[in-house]
Amino acid sequence: MTEETSKKGMSPRTWNAVSIGVFLIAIALGILIYTSTNDIFDAFWSILIAFGAYMALSSPFRKEEVDSFGPSMSDAICAGGVLLAGIGASGLLYSFTGEVLYTAVVIIVIVALVGIILSIKNRSL
């Protein structure tokens, strides 16, 4: 194990390989959804939900050095994953209900969740 990987956790190449594997699993899930609903958008929304959830859940495990400028990389990955999964959930909800109001409510809740999650994650101990 090198000095860089012992300080920061897994190497970026390992994270990239894991991310590609999860993305392929999300595509397989999308294909299964497509075969059951015959709607390509349902497949797309399910891929966004699965990969966004992976990004959000894997963000705490991505160790990095503390930087005093802007959000950390793990914060950006967490926020991006929650937003990606939220957009997928909004699209999937719209495809099943056809109601724009429900979609807007889900997007507002997702943005609030991003704020809450990042506030709790970055609280002072």
* C-alpha span between 67 and 73 (Å, rounded): 9
pLDDT tens digits for range 47-86: 999 999 999 888 878 766 566 666 677 888 888 898 999 9
pLDDT tens digits for range 9-28: 778 788 889 999 999 999 99
CB 78 within 8 A of CB 56: yes
Q: Which residue has the higher pLDDT, 46 or 73?
A: 46
Please spell the DSSP secondary structure of the chain, one letter per residue: --HHHHHHSS-HHHHHHHHHHHHHHHHHHHHHHHHHH--HHHHHHHHHHHHHHHHHHHGGG------SSS--HHHHHHHHHHHHHHHHHHHHHHHHH--HHHHHHHHHHHHHHHHHHHHHHT---
